[in-house]
Amino acid sequence: MANLKEHGLIVSCQAVKGEPLYGLHMMGHFARAAVLGGASGIRANYVDDINEITAQVDVPVIGIIKTVYPDSEIYITPTLKAVSYTHPTLKEVKALLTTKCSVIALDATNRTRPNGEKLEDLIKYIRENAPQVEIMADCSNYEEAKRADELGFDYIGTTLRGYTEYTKGIAIPDCELLRKMTSTLRAHIIAEGGIWEVGQLKAVLDTGVYTVVIGSAITRPMDITKHFMKAFGE
């Protein structure tokens, strides 16, 4: 049985250092508000925030650690360890396994991983050390999603569509890509990225996705304000 609810809404509650809402207790409050509003899951960054959130809400949490490494563009849980702003390395994976997150999201793009690590090794480590934890692939195109499916990811998301160098400028959400993924891949498909309006959400659900993640449009007041300022020509 999947840890994440089918046809539910997962709310991403994240703030990074330097942003006004960054701080341990802020994301816990955001997560509680999201769950009271009907969210069936939370996506969260950093061990402290994940621990605060899992203490406040009883829904599955997708855990990530964003870290920047000088030898890689990947920043979402980049390695097995944890440094500063990427996709997990083994270091980040080990850190996430100390929390109660139900799912760990990994950058599954074709970009070079930090420390020369391999995506397969991160998957193997999680499967062997925490078989109850499911794994999500954050992808930017179909080729990456197909490879993630072959590697046995439980969930595949469009999280990085438009954020890799080779997908910049592509309009998101990309319903055509989502339809292709849902019709050809085994894993549960998660739509994530660029959903700002109810109409967009309905269109995404019509593609047959398993569930949806929405972040900025719900939990980032600065981005929400900028979105509406466009009406003033800002």
Q: Are 80 and 115 in contact (CB under 8 A)?
A: no
- Residue-wise pLDDT tens digits, 147-192: 999 999 999 999 999 999 999 999 999 999 999 999 999 999 999 9
pLDDT confidence bin for 67, thresholds 50/70/90: confident
pLDDT for the residue 82: 39
The residue type found at 46 is: Y
Give the list of residues 6+ apart from residue 132 with CB closer than 8 angstroms, or none.
Answer: none
Pick from 178, 196, 111: nearest CA to 142: 178
pTM greater than 0.85: yes
Q: Are 188 and 211 in contact (CB under 8 A)?
A: yes
Q: What is the CATH number of domain 9-232?
A: 3.20.20.70
Average pLDDT, the chain: 90
Q: Which two tokens stand for residue 48?
A: 């402290």
